[in-house]
Structure 1
Amino acid sequence: MATLSLLALVTAELGDRDMAAALRIILLPFRDQLITMGFGAICLGTVHRPIARLSLLLGDKEEAIRHYRAAITFTAQLGAHPWLAEAQIDLAELLLQGDDSVRADEAETLVVEALATARALSLHRLEELAASLLATARRKGKDAMLRTSFPEPHVRPTIRVLGTFDVTSIRGEPVRWQSRKARELLKILVSRRGTTVTRERLIDLLWPDEQLDRLYNRLAVAASTIRRAFDPAAELPPNTFVESRGDLIRLNTRLIEIDAECFMSDARAALEHALDTTARIDMLVAALDRYAGDVLIDEPDAPWALHYRREVHDTFLEAAYALALAASAKGDQLTRVDAYRRILGLDVYEQRAHEGLIHALTTLGARGQAAEAEANYMQRMRELGVNVGQARPSHSEE
């Protein structure tokens, strides 16, 4: 099987259509098997992947997509994360061929997951490829469903994911969840930032060890539970907040106030505001005031939350350091101190913030606080096994 599968990949690369047709017939009965070598010592993924490559060469794009999706489902169930990431990238590349914005949006979702896996496992080649594809997917434009018109609710439902997780309905009432899976599904959809996710992928994330064909109804029930949570009296069309079309589901973030999205929007506006230092400082402070903690801290190990958490956290750091720099340019040492303390309140090991805080306090003339900050800095670095000597930060370190 390994020899045939490798031959199929080489055939697809060389473009030999006659050989591809023959190999596809041979491999199809074994599509759900793993490609192993050396009595199982080496695994090269599932047979679905070389079949997909052959199908694409033979001009059957839809069959290739089906096999790539099967490869994703199969490797996800096995927990074979490197092969899962590779299949996600293969499918994303295929979906990005053409101008279908719905498929481009699905490709973005696949690449985001593959990128998180590649970074976590230090798969540098896959990480570079995923990063390049992510930029391409985002250039293709957002999901076509974004252009759909929905009635505006009188009161927008809210979702808080910074430092906690809670939801309020369009009536302004807190949601009390009866279904743990519905709650988890909503978190996953929030982490996708309005992009679509396939039903199969959601099922795999929610029920990884159960039979796929039995779970579509349970997924539909979970989605309906979220809709009722947002709109208890069913005053609005069912697809207003949780949209589903065919195999794709997304959260309509345009009609929902999500604290992390509000923070990201405000922070980006402040970072791009370059006309007036005072106004920029005010905007950065207002944005940072929204940041109540990292995203979905009650899901610390969920792989689907990692990319979103990192993206929002990185924006927080960028905004906080920008605030320190703007305050320094204005000679506002108190605001500098506040910016660095915000950072250290979330990460006590952020070396650059420690050094900036010491410098700001020294410049301010608060020598006692500066000495205390330096002692804390040295202690934190010792905990990391870092020998930094005496801290002598300067303006250039900002």
Structure 2
Amino acid sequence: MIRAFLVDDEMHALQLLEYFLKTIGDVDIVGQAGNGPEALTMLQACKPDVLFLDIEMPGMNGIELAEVIRNEYPGLPIIFVTAYDQYAVAAFEQEAIDYLLKPLELPRLQKTMARVRRELARNAESSIDEAVPQSNRKLTIRLLGAFYAGAEGVGEIKWRTAKERELLAFLAAHSSMRVHRDTIIEQLWPEEHYQKAKIYLHTCISLLRKHFKQLGFEQILNYEQERYSLDPDKLDNDVIVFRRLIQQLTTDSSGSFSYAEAKTALSAYRGRLLQEEDYAWAHAEAEWLDKSACQLRMLLSEQYMKQSAYDKVIKLAQETIAYSPYDEEAYRLLMNAHHAMGNNVQVMQVYRELADKLDEMQIRPSQVTSELYSRICRI
């Protein structure tokens, strides 16, 4: 006997669906609800095998309700029932096993129930493997430099749309927090009508869930109180690692940072945040991360200067200038390192490079930089 739960705000629609299901037979109607919140309250006690959800309902519509249910009951089959075929794509993207258009027809519903039986049979077979411990594999996400998302032994995610890719990047970049649905919509679909943007969001969320399921990470994307988040314990996220290493930097009695810790933190910074993408929401975070990496380079450069490791100072200063072409402190370190190696011609070239860049903005090098240059030239 298949246990079915029905959700529709129209009583006559519920009655007709119930009548058809009883006519088909081998179906037990374990619960009915007229809206999303009521359905969520009843679901745990009813323990259905399949859900029939109307889409057009006041407040929480069927697509939104399905998103909550997918998070709490990931394997529960869903069938959408609606009078509006405009929702067909969104319905199937929510991994609904079928989509019924009102007015209902008995032959069409019989085909749907045949699909339900096949789906439940597959679920029963797969449940045999539930007792097998899951591996400690993690989903790898690289945001520093070129964007990458995939898993060892499986490969990179094959994207269907650019927006699902951007959504994963957004959630990964904000993986230290739970992000409200409306915040995501404002950042990724700022020009779209709110109701349409919600459908786009739910579609992309569903596509991500499909990707994660294929990679073996079904419970990595969470939804609670209209907020989305990625489970950090199941991620290998380079931005998370870099932030953590910065936060863990310790100082000695003189207030100096640990040389070894600063070097380890900088090694985790492999490029600008999403450097090949043009995501407006990422710009501020990219600037902060760049600034943090530049500070680490300067700390290490000062250490290398004390150790007379001038070649390393030059390398770090050049990397800083590549990210921050107007950072005069980096130019001064570069000038000092070249001077210490006896390369005063290089000092002149570095100073002229800085002067030319600043001249484009109609400003001159600072007094500190100019005095350093003059002092080196007099030696």
TM over 0.5: yes
**The one of 274, 283, 297 aligned to 1:296:** 274
Residues 354 and 377 in structure 1, CA contact (< 8 A), matched pair in contact too: yes
Residues 355 and 392 in structure 1, CA contact (< 8 A), matched pair in contact too: no
Q: Which runs of 5+ in 1 are unaligned?
A: 1-150
Which residue in 1 is equivalent to 2:159? 177
Is residue 366 of structure 1 aligned with residue 343 of structure 2?
yes
Computing the radius of gyration from Cα coordinates, the structure with the larger value is 2
Alpha-carbon deviations, 1:48-86, whole Å to 9, x = none?
A: xxxxxxxxxxxxxxxxxxxxxxxxxxxxxxxxxxxxxxx
Letter of the structure 2 residue corresponding to residue 198 of structure 1: H
Which residue in 1 is equivalent to 2:209? 227
Q: CA separation of 1:216/1:378 partners in 2, compared to 1, >3 Å: closer, same or farther?
A: closer
Letter of the structure 2 residue corresponding to residue 188 of structure 1: F
Aligned to 2:228, the other structure's residue is in SS state strand
**The one of 242, 246, 249 aligned to 2:225:** 246
Which residue in 1 is equivalent to 2:182? 200
Distance 1:199 1:279 in 2: 39
Which residue in 1 is equivalent to 2:328? 351
Which residue in 1 is equivalent to 2:353? 376
Within a 5 Å distance, the mapping from 1:21-100 to structure 2 comes to: none
Residues 301 and 317 in structure 2, CA contact (< 8 A), matched pair in contact too: yes
Letter of the structure 2 residue corresponding to residue 355 of structure 1: R
Residue 378 of structure 1, CA deviation: 2.1
Residues 320 and 339 in structure 1, CA contact (< 8 A), matched pair in contact too: yes
Residue 353 of structure 1, CA deviation: 0.7
Q: CA separation of 1:384/1:153 partners in 2, compared to 1, >3 Å: closer, same or farther?
A: farther
Is residue 319 of structure 1 aligned with residue 296 of structure 2?
yes
Alpha-carbon deviations, 1:201-247, whole Å to 9, x = none?
A: 222333333332344343223113223333415x44x3x32111131
Distance 1:393 1:259 in 2: 38
Q: CA separation of 1:309/1:254 partners in 2, compared to 1, >3 Å: closer, same or farther?
A: farther
Aligned to 2:244, the other structure's residue is in SS state helix
Q: CA separation of 1:193/1:313 partners in 2, compared to 1, >3 Å: closer, same or farther?
A: farther
Could you tell me the TM-score, scaled by structure 2's length?
0.56
Letter of the structure 1 residue corresponding to residue 176 of structure 2: G
Letter of the structure 1 residue corresponding to residue 265 of structure 2: A
Residue 352 of structure 1, CA deviation: 1.5
Aligned to 2:325, the other structure's residue is in SS state coil
Distance 2:371 2:319 in 1: 21
Aligned to 1:213, the other structure's residue is in SS state helix
Aligned length: 239
Letter of the structure 2 residue corresponding to residue 165 of structure 1: F
**The one of 228, 239, 242 aligned to 1:260:** 239
Letter of the structure 2 residue corresponding to residue 201 of structure 1: T
Distance 2:254 2:153 in 1: 40
Within a 5 Å distance, the mapping from 1:94-243 to structure 2 comes to: 153-169=135-151, 171-232=153-214, 235-236=216-217, 238=218, 240-243=219-222
Alpha-carbon deviations, 1:265-299, whole Å to 9, x = none?
A: 33443x42548999943443343233232112244
Residue 185 of structure 1, CA deviation: 0.9
Q: CA separation of 1:276/1:262 partners in 2, compared to 1, >3 Å: closer, same or farther?
A: farther
Aligned to 1:319, the other structure's residue is in SS state helix
Letter of the structure 2 residue corresponding to residue 375 of structure 1: R
Is residue 309 of structure 1 aligned with residue 304 of structure 2?
no
Q: CA separation of 1:169/1:226 partners in 2, compared to 1, >3 Å: closer, same or farther?
A: farther
- Of 167-176 and 312-321, deviating more is 167-176
Distance 1:314 1:191 in 2: 17
Which residue in 2 is equivalent to 1:285? 263
Please state which structure has a larger fraction of its residues in helix: 1
Within a 5 Å distance, the mapping from 1:384-395 to structure 2 comes to: 384-388=361-365, 391-393=370-372
Residues 290 and 323 in structure 2, CA contact (< 8 A), matched pair in contact too: no
Aligned to 1:195, the other structure's residue is in SS state coil
Distance 1:169 1:225 in 2: 17
Aligned to 2:223, the other structure's residue is in SS state strand
Distance 1:207 1:345 in 2: 32
Letter of the structure 1 residue corresponding to residue 262 of structure 2: L
Alpha-carbon deviations, 1:129-181, whole Å to 9, x = none?
A: xxxxxxxxxxxxxxxxxxxxxx9753211111122212113544011211211
Alpha-carbon deviations, 1:77-100, whole Å to 9, x = none?
A: xxxxxxxxxxxxxxxxxxxxxxxx
Residue 182 of structure 1, CA deviation: 0.8
The CA RMSD measured in Å over matched residues stands at 3.0
Residues 250 and 257 in structure 2, CA contact (< 8 A), matched pair in contact too: no
Residues 327 and 335 in structure 1, CA contact (< 8 A), matched pair in contact too: yes
Aligned to 1:263, the other structure's residue is in SS state helix
Aligned to 1:293, the other structure's residue is in SS state coil
Letter of the structure 2 residue corresponding to residue 254 of structure 1: D
Aligned to 1:232, the other structure's residue is in SS state helix
